[in-house]
């Protein structure tokens, strides 16, 4: 996440361990977490354990609400952040944008989500979507696996870059072509090792990477 510009000093990634627990990255910048630094095991019930950042509540509420979710990424990709400052989230204007069609929900609050009530509301607004954008505070993605959640973080930022690149055309009155629901269904697929190849791309060069 850090090496690809999706996170900086802030951000956290988690993976479901079992029906009652998930593992989240330690309270360090993601790019500085060493292979010897343990993550934090968080129970779905009870208080956050020592070492878990307050916003990890968002992960917990998503795992609680969606038993099929296996991984969550909370990151700060710059294009998605810029678009949220306009009160917008990216539409399905290219292939990778179709995974969030018609577009991700936008959480309107500007404060960091650090209490249980707000975390529950974020998860409720997200619903079954693959991502939610937090106004001026980054994004949250959720996938069946950690590989999917990480890939979706990249997809969402790519969709936001496309949206921003087309702003001058929009200002000139030229409308972008959005994918139809039928096109979205055909394009937003997992087949062909799509997530697996993105995972390889994202992880190549990491100390943990195994070819």
Which domains does the chain carry? 12-203 (3.40.225.10)
* Lowest mean per-residue pLDDT among 45-49, 122-126, 176-180: 45-49
Instruction: Give the CA-trace dihedral at 50, 56, 60, 63, to 10 degrees.
Output: -130
When pLDDT is cut at 50, 70 and 90, the band that residue 1 belongs to is very high
Is the confidence at residue 129, as pLDDT, over 70? yes
The owner of tokens 């936008």 is 106
SS3 for 25-43, per residue? CCCCCHHHCCCCCCCEEEE
Count CB-CB contacts under 10 A for residue 136: 14
Instruction: Give the CA-trace dihedral at 67, 117, 123, 200, to 10 degrees.
Output: -80
What residues pair up with 151 in beta bridges, in sequence order?
A: none
Considering just the CA atoms, what is the radius of gyration of the chain in Å? 17
* pTM of the predicted protein model: 0.95
Q: Taking all residues of the chain, what is their mean pLDDT, rounded to a whole number?
A: 95
When pLDDT is cut at 50, 70 and 90, the band that residue 210 belongs to is low
Mean pLDDT of 77-89: 97
Q: How far is CA 13 from CA 31, 40, 105, in A?
A: 12, 11, 20
Residue 130's closest CA among 71, 44, 60?
Answer: 71
**Can you tell me the distance from the alpha carbon of 85 to that of 195, in angstroms, rounded to the nearest whole number?**
29
137-167 pLDDT, tens digit per residue, is 999 999 999 999 999 999 999 999 999 999 9
Structure confidence at residue 207 (pLDDT): 82
Structure confidence at residue 131 (pLDDT): 98
The owner of tokens 């951000």 is 11
When pLDDT is cut at 50, 70 and 90, the band that residue 133 belongs to is very high
Structure confidence at residue 156 (pLDDT): 98
Mean pLDDT of 45-63: 95
Q: For 188, what's the count of Cα atoms within 13 Å in the CB-facing half-sphere?
A: 21
Is the confidence at residue 211, as pLDDT, over 60? no
């Amino acid at each position: 996440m850090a090496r690809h510009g999706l996170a900086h000093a802030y951000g956290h990634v988690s993976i479901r361990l079992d029906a009652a627990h998930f593992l989240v990255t330690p309270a360090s910048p993601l790019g500085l977490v060493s292979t010897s630094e343990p993550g934090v095991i968080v129970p779905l019930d009870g208080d956050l354990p020592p070492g878990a950042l307050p916003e990890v509540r968002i992960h917990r509420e998503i795992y609680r609400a969606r038993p099929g979710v296996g991984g969550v990424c909370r990151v700060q990709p710059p294009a998605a952040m810029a678009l949220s400052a306009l009160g917008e989230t990216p539409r399905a204007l290219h292939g990778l944008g179709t995974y969030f069609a018609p577009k991700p929900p936008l959480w309107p609050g500007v404060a960091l989500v650090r209490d249980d009530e707000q975390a529950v509301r974020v998860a409720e607004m997200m619903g079954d979507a693959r991502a939610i954008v937090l106004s001026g505070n980054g994004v949250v993605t959720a996938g069946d696996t950690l590989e999917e959640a990480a890939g979706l973080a990249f997809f969402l930022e790519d969709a936001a870059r496309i949206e921003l690149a087309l702003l001058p055309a929009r200002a000139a009155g030229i409308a972008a072509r959005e994918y139809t629901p039928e096109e979205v269904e055909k394009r937003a697929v997992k087949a062909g090792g799509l997530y697996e190849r993105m995972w390889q791309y994202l992880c190549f060069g990491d100390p943990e990477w195994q070819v």
